Amino acid sequence: MPYVILIFLIISFIDLPDLIKGNSKKELMVVCSILCFGFVLSSLYALGIDLPSPLVGIENFLRDVLNLGYKK
């Protein structure tokens, strides 16, 4: 967990200063939200919490609801 915080601090120090100096507020918002999302995912991974996989979810939907998929 400390490594995650350290790495994200380094990333923000590299990426964000130019954006804050520039006047594109929208870009700053998008970059910050993507970094936050990445930070949440990495912290959950570091803490050992498993998230449900969207890929498996969609494929279960295709298999069980739409009845697609080859049988073994």
Structure tokens at 57: 């979810």
Dist CA 36 CA 54 (whole Å): 19
* Residue 54 lies near other proteins (rule: CB under 8 A): yes
- Helix or strand holding residue 61 (H, E): helix 54-64
Identify the residue among 38, 47, 48, 65 touching other proteins (CB under 8 A): 38
* Residue 69 lies near other proteins (rule: CB under 8 A): yes
Tell me which residue has tokens 């918002």: 29
* Residue 5 lies near other proteins (rule: CB under 8 A): no
Q: Are 22 and 10 in contact (CB under 8 A)?
A: no
Site residues (CB under 8 A) for other proteins?
8, 11, 14-15, 18-19, 24, 26-27, 30-31, 34-35, 37-39, 41-42, 45, 50-51, 53-56, 58-59, 62-63, 68-72
